[in-house]
Amino acid sequence: MITDIELKLIREALDFAKKSGAQKASATLSASSEDLVATLNGDIDRITRCQDRSLSLCLFVDGRFGSFSTNKLEMNALRDFILKAIETVRMLAEDPCRDLADPSRTCKTALKGDELGAVDPVRAGITPEMRRQAALDASVFSTPTPPEYKIVSEEGEYSDSIYEVALMDTNGLFCRQTETSFDYGVEITIEAGGEKYSGYAWDSWSHSGDLDSAACGRLALEKAVAQIGSEPAESGKYTMVIDRECASRAISPVLRALSGYQIQQNNSFLMDSIGRKIFPDGLTVLDDPHIRGNVCSKLFDSEGAATAPHAIIEGGVVKEYFINTFIGNKLGMVPTVEDPVRPHILPYPQEGLDRAAILKLCGDGILVTDFNGGNSNPATGDFSYGIEGFLFKDGRIVRPVSEMLVTGNFLTLWQGFKAAGSDARQCMSKLVPTLAFENVDFSG
């Protein structure tokens, strides 16, 4: 993908930037190739070939900073681009907080790009015919259906891709990462009793052998069928179980609130939380950035800082903000990494629970299987989301519910934390299992 000639080009670009007035500079070259086959109702609908390549430059000139990008990568065009970029940076205000990542904390182990085993050589041999067959084989459109419903449409999308990124800076940083990805997603719409219901399922892996496209079609159809006859439940307080497919909605705002940028802007409901016990004992969130062979694993962040396994929240105590060099200098804090890479919620109260076991543990409540819109207030943690799912009693699903809202505050939500399963999907960027919370407000 990224050739030696292109790596040489980046070095030349950095050298040229220094010769032209930049004291420091960093460059990120990214390249990707993707082939996609979309189906509609079991027939080929669209084929797409994508080839991308672009260079981003961060320039530090006379205490000033600017960031630039281009996909015109001929050296002559790049020289003009860099000269114009330096001229632009000189127009900006000085900012002493801007700097390259300190070499002592940058990654030195990502030299070939495949250190995390996320490249499947099989991709190089995939032919257009194989892609077409993979997409068609995944279709369940022709599956016989009972008279209660009919499949109105099935839209599937198979793709395989390779992505590579290389980082260099004028402090000697060099790291690169390559990963392949094999993906399938499908949305099925059914009609029953004059109403339409839809279900979506997807799968994504670095290695083609792990992809289970056929299961996606079956699952999407099951999801759509399960919603037949859904209606709101009575408004009130319920125990809420969130399916692993969408449970990241409960933790993502918490992780965003630990972002150094949000903290520096005083726009976080977790201000001054470092080292404090904000959450219940049962909540531990680890970052596992080096899981081999998995999509989203990373050895370095976007400024080249080395990632490492660590605790984000441990026994309810906040252990880390996500701080890059710039925000670290702004806050007077030691930089960590820019973002969590693969946050992982540990099982609670015991290992081995799946959705069924958690429903049984909770007894009665609402199982949320999808969120529909909504938002949260980053400063207060207040949230309100549309949901669909199921009412359950004595641990068993009773009927589907939709057109309902769940409303609350993330700090109080997590005080009602009751359970976390061991069933997180490994193909997701956040390893969030089925979760359960008590005393949650639902409106319908």
* Structural tokens at position 8: 């040489």
Measured N-to-C along each axis, helices 4-19 and 75-89 cross at an angle, to the nearest 10 degrees, of 40
Question: How does DSSP classify residue 307?
Answer: P
CB of 152 to other proteins, least distance (A): 5
Nearest-approach distance from CB 40 to other proteins, in angstroms? 6
Cβ–Cβ < 8 Å for 314, 347: no
Q: For residue 292, give the nearest of 352, 342, 344, 252 by alpha carbon.
A: 342
Nearer to other proteins, 325 or 376 (CB): 376
User: 117 near 20, Cβ under 8 Å?
Assistant: no
CA distances from 356 to 56, 272, 350 (A): 47, 38, 14
Of 47 and 398, which has the nearer Cβ to other proteins?
47
**263 vs 358, which CB is nearer to other proteins?**
263
Give the whole-angstrom CA distance, residue 416 versus residue 283. 11
Which residue, 89 or 306, has its beta carbon nearer to other proteins? 89
Which residues, listed in sequence order, are joined to residue 370 by a DSSP beta bridge?
A: 388
For other proteins, the closer of residues 116 and 226 by Cβ is: 226
Closer CB to other proteins, 235 or 350, in the complex: 235
Compare residues 335 and 433 and give the one whose CB is closer to other proteins: 335
CB of 282 to other proteins, least distance (A): 25
Q: How far is the CB of 10 from other proteins (least distance, A)?
A: 17
Report in angstroms how near the CB of residue 86 gets to other proteins at its nearest. Answer: 11
Least Å from the CB of residue 234 to other proteins? 10
Rounded alpha-carbon distances, angstroms, from residue 292 to 117, 180, 426: 6, 13, 11
CA-derived radius of gyration, the chain: 24
CA distance 16 to 25: 10
Looking at beta carbons only, is 23 or 407 nearer to other proteins? 407
Degrees (nearest 5) of the Cα angle 253, 287, 331? 65
CB of 316 to other proteins, least distance (A): 22
Q: Which is nearer to other proteins, 265 or 350 (CB)?
A: 265
Instruction: List, in order, residues 6 or more apart from 336 with CB less than 8 Å away.
Output: 305, 320, 321, 322, 323
Residue 348 beta carbon to other proteins: minimum distance, rounded to whole angstroms: 27
Please give the helix or strand (H or E) that residue 160 lies within, else none.
Answer: strand 150-169
Min separation Cβ 281 and other proteins, Å? 27
Among 39, 38, 89, residue whose Cα is nearest residue 64: 89
Query: Cα separation of 89 and 25, whole Å?
Result: 12
Continuous segment of H or E residues that includes residue 81: helix 75-89
How far apart CA 135 and CA 129 sit, in angstroms, is 10
